[in-house]
Structures are given as structure tokens and as C-alpha cells.
Structure 1
Amino acid sequence: MIEGNFYSVKMNDNTYQISFLPTEDQINEIYSWSTFPSHTFSTIDNAFKQYTICIVSSEKTTIGFLVYRLSPRCINIALAETKYEHRNKGVAKLILEKLTQQLLPQGYVAYHLYCSPENSQYIWKSLGFHYYPQSRFGKRSEKIKMYKIFVDCCTVKDISERAKELDIIEIWNCDAVIDDQKPTWFAEISINENKKLVKPLIFFGDDNWSIKIDQKFERYKNYNRESEVTECFYINDVK
């Protein structure tokens, strides 16, 4: 449950109210204008009961919402929409900013979602989201999946940029590494005396993909069995 429940923000000569504890009337108001099919309303209703919905109002009218689910490190955006006449005014950006502000102190590091409808990808891209990387064998899913990391972390680069003297984690975009097959990406790391990474590695891929850390090959899911988001690598120590 979000600890801070209400904000009032002035933006572009308008005043917006952001609430993490909406009323039942506000939820019903969303149902009156949302373009999502009615069978998705149960998702909104469950989020209302579980305190995992954020709504935005202006002049006592509900104009936007975002439904989310929490895992140990990541926030899955399940549904989000802005009322038609209030689009392109920064409402979605405002919701994300306030949600990030609330959840960052609790250890959350990133958002992830799949685009439904598919053309929503362009909105999410404008908000700083990135596409999931492809596997060695092409697209892994028919769904368009995107993510946004909002904490300071290791930068993942193409393996062609590698300098050999660096301490690195190597990542392959496949589960089985054959012979001298080069990794696809790498991340430069710094390790303190407690074998903790100064900055964590956060990478959205497939937990079956192989990594090499401290000269050891493993599938990510075997390296971190506590991970509950199969698409997200989160490494903050050397085992």
C-alpha cells in the first residue's frame, strides 16, 4: 500500500490532484469513459481493493488512472489511460513521477509492461520506456514488451565496446553458449570489499539466458533463484 495518499500539483496552468486512495465514485467515473473493454474492469476493481491504483483528477473530474502490480524489485503496469480530452498534457508523466517518488524508497527499481493496444508503445517510448532486447533467435513473444529503469545502475553495452581490462558481467541472448560464441552485451562493474556491486546490474531479458560473472557461466535463473520477475536480471552481489 502506498504511504502517501494525495498530492496536488500545478502544471501548465492547471491544478491536478493525484490520489492513491480513490473513492468508489471515482472508479465508477473511470468506467464511464475508459476505452478498455469491460472485461478488464475487474482488473481495475481488484486494484481498487488492493490499493494498487493511482488516479488523477482535475476540477473534481477523474481524468486518468494507472493500475500496477508489485514484485520484489519491479512494478508491472497492468492498465493505464488518460481521458481523451486530457491527453498530450503530461498527465501520464505526472502519474509516473509520483508513483516513482512513492516506491523508490521501498527498494523498487523499474517499471515493465506489455503494450495493449500495440500503438500505445509510442506513448510509452515518449515517457522513456525501452523495448525488451531480442533473443539470438529473434522476437521472443508476440507481445510488445517495454521497461523503464529509474535508479542508478550499471550501464549495459554492446560487447563490441568492451575494454578487456574491465571487471564485467557478460550476457548472452540465448540459454546455451556454444564453443567460443561471443556474448551479446556486457556491463562494467565495481565490487566492494563485501563482494557487493557498487551499482546493481538491472537488465530486462530472459532468465534462461546465460551470464558470466567472476569467470563462472550460469543461467540467470540459477544464479538468482529469488528473482520473481522472469524478464528482469537484478544482480547486486557476486556469489
Structure 2
Amino acid sequence: MNQKIELNTNPKALELELVRSWLIEERNHFNEGFYCNWGIIEKAFNNKEFITLNHANYPIGFAVYSKSELYVEIDILEVKRNFRRKGIGQQFILKLESYFKSKGHVAFKLFCSPKESQGFWEKNGFVKFPRRGYTESDLTYFKPLVEIEKPTDSTNLTNKLELWNAEPYEIKNNAPQWTWKIDMTLNKLLKPIIHPCNNNWNLRWTKNASIVREHKVKYFNKNTKPIHCGPFLIIYELFE
């Protein structure tokens, strides 16, 4: 493919109609695709939540999304049938990551549909949500858009953040499900922590082997900047 593939973040009505035409073709000839969601796609276009991937000024892929302050939910993503299995889907994801990261977003969230696309998302670095106690599909995935502090299996850290998948009264002597090493400069983490959570789960901060604070996620930083956004625990700073 000689010509450049480009992300179009402001597609026009003509491009929407071109997408519509190949979605109809996919439905009629292969009984697949997202034409069954055309009302959602059209609404997203009107709300400027519709992006196309263009080749030679022709849309060969599109994405429907919604966004909050810090994360983006991908509702639909598709590459035109005859452009699949060429690495274009991966390019599309990378371009979307770069674009939304430049706008200040730090994570993607999505529901994997159809289920057969699960391998595609996992191949592109998406990870399943843990069970959060909500009526949430087992096919819910996320991917950070920035470099993060990853959970560790180390048990002898003196500076750490620990998260249980339970409320404070439920944890008893149970070990945390996730632990992060805390490295900070002037209260700012060297790498942020971004992880799906339930806002009622127990969170504990230990500094120099002493517990600084322990509370439900939603109350943990009550007097400072919130550390959660929608389904995510998002921490850039910690204050005593």
C-alpha cells in the first residue's frame, strides 16, 4: 500500500456516506459488519465522536467513541473487509492512541464485540477488566495510553500502594490483589498508576513501612485531587 494512511478526526458527510455504502455491502454480501448500528454511528458523527482512517482520501476504517476527562471509550471500530489482515487495524489503534494521548487522555476502555475480535484487542495490548462487582461484561478491556507503574509481586516493599477487590470491612487479613511500588519526587509519582477499580474497594498507602492512609478509593484523597475517574483508579500524585 503505497499511499499514506491517515487519521481523519473531522470527517465530512461524504465520508460518512462512503462508510455507510461499504457497511451495507458487508451486510448484504457477508452478513457481517456494523450497519445494524447505523443509528449509533450517525449520532456519533453528529456529535463529533466519529473518526475515519483514510487511504487516498477514502475511508477504509472508522471508529465511534465517547470520552470523559481522562479516558476514551471505543464503542465501535471497524476496518473495511478488503483491507483487513494487512496490519491496518494495528495502525489504526496506534494512530488513535497518539491522537487521544495528545488531547490529555490516559486510557482506552472498550467492550469487545463481536467476541471473535478478542484476539485482535489482546494482540494490541488491551487487558481484561477485573471483576468490579458491577453488571459488567467479561469482555470489557482497557489499555493505558501513557507509561504506567505496573503491579508487582514483591512482598517486601516499604513504599507501596495496595488495592483490595473488596471493601475495607471485608479485607480482614487477606492480601491485596494489586501492589505498586511507590517512587515519588515532591509528591509526584515517577510513573502514574492507572488501573480499573470499584470506588468502594480498599486502598492503602504505606511509606517507610508505616501506613500513611487507608480508605475506600472514593474517599482516599478527599481533601485533594480525586484519584479515580469513572471505572479507573488514576494516580499521579500522593499527599500526606
Q: TM-score, normalised by structure 1?
A: 0.82
State the alpha-carbon separation in 2 of the partners of residues 174 and 140 from structure 1. 16
> Cα RMSD between the aligned structures?
2.3
Indicate conservation of the 8 Å contact 1:206/1:230, yes or no. Answer: no
State the alpha-carbon separation in 2 of the partners of residues 230 and 103 from structure 1. 17
Q: Which moved more, 1:47-56 or 1:70-79?
A: 47-56
Show the 5 A alignment for 1:58-97: 58-97=55-94
Q: Structure 2: any 5+ residue segments left out of the alignment?
A: 24-32
**Among 150, 160, 163, the residue aligned to 1:155:** 150
State the alpha-carbon separation in 2 of the partners of residues 237 and 52 from structure 1. 31
Which residue of the partner structure matches residue 177 of structure 2?
184
Report how many aligned residue pairs link the two structures. Answer: 221
Indicate conservation of the 8 Å contact 1:17/1:58, yes or no. Answer: yes
State the alpha-carbon separation in 2 of the partners of residues 59 and 105 from structure 1. 24
Identity %: 24
Which residue of the partner structure matches residue 124 of structure 1?
121
- Does residue 36 (structure 1) correspond to residue 34 (structure 2)? The answer is yes
Summarize deviations over 1:146-169 as a string: whole Å, max 9, x none.
Answer: 111121121113xxx224243110
Rate the CA distance shift 1:228–1:53 in 2: closer, same or farther, 3 A: farther
State the alpha-carbon separation in 2 of the partners of residues 36 and 222 from structure 1. 41
Summarize deviations over 1:56-112 as a string: whole Å, max 9, x none.
Answer: 223443211111212111111011111111111122222222222222233211111
Shift of 1:196: 2.2
Which residue of the partner structure matches residue 28 of structure 2?
none
**Counterpart of 2:89 in structure 1: which amino acid?**
A
State the alpha-carbon separation in 1 of the partners of residues 192 and 238 from structure 2. 11
Which residue of the partner structure matches residue 107 of structure 2?
110
Summarize deviations over 1:173-199 as a string: whole Å, max 9, x none.
Answer: 122433211111100011222x22222
State the alpha-carbon separation in 1 of the partners of residues 35 and 74 from structure 2. 17
Indicate conservation of the 8 Å contact 2:217/2:228, yes or no. Answer: no
- Does residue 174 (structure 1) correspond to residue 171 (structure 2)? The answer is no
Rate the CA distance shift 1:165–1:22 in 2: closer, same or farther, 3 A: closer
State the alpha-carbon separation in 2 of the partners of residues 64 and 224 from structure 1. 41
Rate the CA distance shift 1:61–1:165 in 2: closer, same or farther, 3 A: closer
Shift of 1:127: 1.2
State the alpha-carbon separation in 1 of the partners of residues 55 and 103 from structure 2. 29
**Counterpart of 2:4 in structure 1: which amino acid?**
T
State the alpha-carbon separation in 2 of the partners of residues 203 and 107 from structure 1. 17
Q: Secondary structure at the match of 1:124?
A: helix
Summarize deviations over 1:186-225 as a string: whole Å, max 9, x none.
Answer: 00011222x2222211112322222112422222122357
